[in-house]
Structure 1
Amino acid sequence: MHIFWENIWKFPKFLISVFLGFFLTAAYPFFQLSKKRKTLYILLCILTLLLVFLVITLKEMLGYS
């Protein structure tokens, strides 16, 4: 039974490392693109527009003015 609880306590660390690894692997191409100043500005503009779009969409969905 001790081994069971030990494995249960290890699971959150495993889950966090899997999610972190997934997001870092998915974001790696963007890190490579951001090495050039011109593409960095384009990426920042796109991310800003996506964030603004998300905020506006959530405000409208939730009924905030």
Structure 2
Amino acid sequence: MQEFFENVSRYPRYLIALVVGVFWNAIEPLIPFLRRPTTAIALIGALISGFIFLTLTLQAMLGLSVDAV
């Protein structure tokens, strides 16, 4: 039974390593674009607009509405 709990306790570390690895592999190719101001602004703008697009799409799909104050 001791081995079981030791084995289960390894899963959170594995999950953290997996998530960090995925984010690192997604971000690493974009690092050279951040060296020049023009491409950095374009890249940051594309990321922000992509996040806004995803947010609005999910809100529409799920039927969520934000009431204006």
TM-score per shorter chain, which class?
Answer: 0.7 to 0.9
What does residue 26 of structure 2 align with? 26
For CA contacts below 8 A with separation 6 or more, give which structure has more relative contact order: 1
Would you tell me which structure has more helix in proportion to its own residues? 1
Tell me the amino acid that sits aligned with residue 21 of structure 2.
G
- TM-score, length-scaled by structure 1: 0.82
Give unmatched runs, 5+ long, in structure 2: none
User: Residue deviations 1:8-38, cap 9 Å, x none?
Assistant: 1111111111121121112101122112111
Q: Give the paired residue count.
A: 65
Give the % identical residues. Answer: 32
Q: TM-score, normalized by length of structure 2? A: 0.78
Structure 1 unmatched runs, 5+: none
Give me the whole-angstrom Cα distance separating, in 1, the residues matched to 2:18 and 2:55.
Answer: 28
| Residue of structure 2 in register with 1:60 after alignment | 60
Secondary structure of 2:35's partner? coil
How many angstroms does 1:53 deviate by? 0.9
CA distance in 2, matches of 1:57, 1:46: 16
SS in 1 for 2:10: helix
| Paired letter, 1:46 | A
Question: 4+ runs of 1 displaced by more than 2 Å?
Answer: none
